[in-house]
Structure 1
C-alpha cells in the first residue's frame, strides 16, 4: 500500500517530466504546480495528471476518492484501490471504466516492523496509476496498488502500480480491458531502492527533506 509520499520536483521540472511521457504534446497546469512536499498524506491535495488526447492537465485533487454517488467526505478515505478488485468494486468500477489518470511522485514511505523507509527510483520520477472522480463537488483521486514484486517484496506485500512511461497511454486511453492488462505487479519495481527514513515521518505535521533520510 502507499499512504505517504514525497514530491519535491515542481515548477518547470515537473511540467517537463509530464511532457516527457510518450504521446503528450502539451501540459496545462491551471492550478499551478505544488510546492515541494516531503510527507504527503491521505485527504491532502495532490497533483493529478489527466490526459485528453495529447493534452495533459495537472490539477490539485483530494487524495481519497469520492465516488460520484457520494455527497460528502464522510467515511474512511479511499486513498488506495486494489488492482485485483478495482474493475468490480462499487467504489472504483465507474472510475476504472472511464476516469483513469496518474499521480506523480518522487518517492514514497513504507513501514516494516514499525521502522519507516523511503523508497525511490535511482533516477527520474514515478508515475502511479490513479483513478479520479468528482463526487462531493470536488476533484479526488486514488492510487492503484498491486502485489509487490522483487526486489521490494521484503518491505511490504503491496506496491503502488507504477507505470513505465510507454505504458501511460494504454492505462489512460485504453479500453478497460486494455488497462486491465497492466494490473499485474509493477514493471518498475526493479528500479526502486529503499533506505531508512527519519522516525518523525510518522507525524503528518512534519514536512521537511530530512524525513527522507541520508543517501
Structure 2
C-alpha cells in the first residue's frame, strides 16, 4: 500500500517532467499546485496529471482519497489506494477506471517495516497510475497498488503501480483493455529504500529532515 508520500519538486519542474517523461507537448497548471510537502497523508491535496489528448495535459490539485460518483460527501474511510486486481470491478472505482485515469507525481514515498519507516525513491520524479473522480468540479483521486517486487518486496507486500515513461499515455489515453494491461507490477529499477525519521508517523510533522534517520540533524 501507500499511505504517505512526498512531493517537493516545484511546479515548473513538474511541468518539464511531464513534457520530457510523459511526452506531452503542452502541459499547464491552471489552478496552481499544492505546496511542497514531505509527509502527504490521505484527504490532503495532491497533484495529479490529467490528459486532454495526446499532446496536451494539465497538472491539477485533487483530494487524496477518491469520492465515488454516487457518493454525496467525503464521509467514511478515504479511498486512497485501489488494488489493481479488483479496480475494474469494484463499484467505487469502476467508473473512474473507465473515464478518469490519471498519473500521480511523487518524489518518493514512505513504508514501514518492523515499525521502522523507510523513504523509498529513485532520485527523480516518479509517476504512479491513479484514478480521478470529478464530482461537480471537485476532484478526488486514488493510487493504484500491486503486489510488490524486488527490491521492495521485503518492506511491504504492496507497492504503488509505477509507470515507465512509455506507459503514461497508455494508462491515461488507452482503451480500457490497453490500460488493463498495466494492472500488474510496474518497473522497480533504480528504487532505493533508506531509513527515515520515525517522526513521519505523526502527520503534523512535515519537513525535509523526515527523509533522514533521527539524530542526523
Using structure 1 for the length normalisation, give the TM-score: 0.95
Residues 93-104 of structure 1: pairs in structure 2 closer than 5 A: 93-104=94-105
Residues 20-169 of structure 1: pairs in structure 2 closer than 5 A: 20-53=20-53, 54-121=55-122, 123-135=123-135, 138-169=138-169
Match of 1:208 in 2: 207
Q: How much does 1:137 deviate?
A: 5.3
Identify unmatched segments of 5+ residues in structure 2. Answer: none
CA distance in 2, matches of 1:18, 1:103: 11
Q: 1:33 to 1:74 in 2, by over 3 A?
A: closer
1:105-127, Cα deviation, whole Å (9 max, x unpaired):
00000001111000001x32100
SS of the residue corresponding to residue 130 of structure 2 reads strand
Match of 2:180 in 1: 180
Residues matched between the structures, number: 213
When structure 1 is superposed on structure 2, of 198-207 and 5-14 the one drifting more is 5-14
* Alpha-carbon contact 2:120-2:193 (below 8 Å) kept: yes
Q: How much does 1:33 deviate?
A: 3.1
* Alpha-carbon contact 1:109-1:116 (below 8 Å) kept: yes
* Aligned CA-pair RMSD: 1.4
Q: How much does 1:190 deviate?
A: 2.4
* Alpha-carbon contact 2:34-2:45 (below 8 Å) kept: no
Q: 1:137 to 1:15 in 2, by over 3 A?
A: closer
Using structure 2 for the length normalisation, give the TM-score: 0.95
Q: 1:115 to 1:136 in 2, by over 3 A?
A: farther
CA distance in 1, matches of 2:130, 2:14: 17
CA distance in 2, matches of 1:137, 1:169: 23
* Alpha-carbon contact 2:107-2:124 (below 8 Å) kept: yes
Q: Which runs of 4+ in 1 moved over 3 A?
A: none
Q: 1:66 to 1:14 in 2, by over 3 A?
A: same
SS of the residue corresponding to residue 87 of structure 2 reads coil
Q: How much does 1:208 deviate?
A: 0.2
